[in-house]
Amino acid sequence: MLQHLPRWAVAGLALGAGGAGALAFAPVALFPLAPLALAGWFALLLDATPRRAALTGYLFGLGFFGVGTTWIFNSLLVFGQAPLLVASALTVLFVLALAVYPALLAGLAARFLPLDRPAGLVALAGGVVLMEFARSWLFSGFPWLLFGHTVLDTPLQGWLPLAGELGAGLVVALLAVALVGIARPGWRARGVLLAAALMAVSLALVPLRWVQPQGDPIAVAMMQGNIPQERKWAADGIEYSFDVYAALTEPLSGVDLVVWPETAVPAFYIEVAVGLERLSDRLEDEGAELVTGIFAFDHPQRAIFNSVMHVPSGAGYNKRQLVPFGEFIPLRDRLAWLDRLLEIPMSDLTPGEGDGRMPMAGSIAGVSICYESAYARHIRAALPEAGFLINVSNDAWFGDSLAPAQHLQIARVRAVETGRPMVRATNTGISALIDARGGITARSGLFTREVVRGEIQPQTGRTPAVALAEAPALLAAVLLLGFGVVSRRRHRLRH
């Protein structure tokens, strides 16, 4: 089969499979490419030596992340104002580092699993789960482009509230194993059986409801100012930004909750508190509450936070998961030279604490900021008390790239996992109201100035994915890997 191809052909197929896998994610969102890409990669590992398997895994990772994270270059060059050579080098290094994960998985699998037998490939699917879990945690984590995200709007979506993104990713990987089995003589019957079983269970999950409506719907309005980064951080950026958002807000009526995006006004809250509170008072007269992204300064700690403020109550939330090199410089004493090359405002922030719960609009919101929506553990922390989710973001850093659509896809996954609607307000798009099943009920365009209005229905209850977190997926992965290792040893003893 494929393992007998020349090395250059195997390398090309591995790169191509990785690149195709990235197209399974938004904005292309061709779900069949996810199991097909994994199946192509798995097929290349059959009978491969550990060294060749590791190389194949590395090439798969280069294709996958090289296509899926191209927005890193755009963010560094255009908005970080890094020199072209620096932006290119950092992007390449980022992709090279991420590709180590599939390389390690493939090399270890070829060393310890019988990849020439069905049990080995099934165990490899468990390895994919552990690989994605490691990538989500190590070195602050990068839980972006996880294969479970691709099941949105497919019959497999029911796995998200049941087993979370990792559990859904395991199903995608097992479907890839089934495809390899169907294509391989002697394994066809088992491949068909596995695929049929996965689809049957997936279809049975579709009608299940894990949560129930709570209270009355909340009328929401999100302001998308579409202020370019260079204009936002100009000398008069604070006054200009406030005026833009205030003008969008003033005509509103019949709204319960008004949400401005992450750092809508590029100032400390204390600098614009008078204006915000006056506006909030006028909104309260109309029955509306104002929530905005803003910077906060803790004078005793000399700490700067990326925050969300509920203006009527004065309650605040400080972002917990900061973006490396965007909001803080890791190992600053050793990487000070890099800080000097990147011109990113407010890039020395302090991480916050707490669970993100914030009372508003007669309910409790689970609040997160931008990149935090990619971390399921942070979103779960507000549950089950939170009836809905709010995520404010500044996707202007991504420009016109794949990232805004990928970020929206992740937000939808969080809504489905938790069984909670989400209010997602961004500076430049894509702002959206997402229902508890991940459907978009209202949305903005990209790089448009507009007000997005609609209703959300708070929910109560706890999905299994919230109650049990990653435990079921990790347990299943470990059991599959253990089964594969034992199967290899038994096969060796018999032969």
> Which residues carry out catalysis?
262, 319, 370
Best CA proximity match to 366, nearest among 493, 462, 228:
462
Q: What are phi and psi of 91, to 5 degrees?
A: -65, -45
Q: In this structure, what token pair is assigned to residue 324?
A: 């490396």
Q: How far apart are CA 25 and CA 409, in angstroms?
A: 8
Q: How far apart are CA 272 and CA 291, in angstroms?
A: 14
Best CA proximity match to 415, nearest among 40, 73, 157:
157
Beta carbons of 196 and 183 less than 8 angstroms apart = no
DSSP 431-461: -EEE-TTS-EEEE--SS--EEEEEEE--EES
Best CA proximity match to 330, nearest among 157, 485, 142, 192:
142
Positive/negative CA dihedral, 38, 40, 46, 48: negative
Beta carbons of 362 and 388 less than 8 angstroms apart = no
The residues near 300 (Cβ < 8 Å, ≥ 6 apart) are none
The residue count of the chain comes to 495
- The per-residue b/e assignment along 27-63, b for 16 or more CB within 10 angstroms, e otherwise, is eebebebbbbbbbbbbbbbbebeeebbbbbbbbbbbb
Beta carbons of 40 and 184 less than 8 angstroms apart = no
Best CA proximity match to 149, nearest among 16, 20, 23, 65:
23
In the three-class reduction of DSSP (H, G, I as helix; E, B as strand; rest coil), residue 254 is classed as coil
Beta carbons of 157 and 206 less than 8 angstroms apart = yes
Q: What is the largest CA-CA distance in the chain?
A: 81
Q: How far apart are CA 360 and CA 420, in angstroms?
A: 15
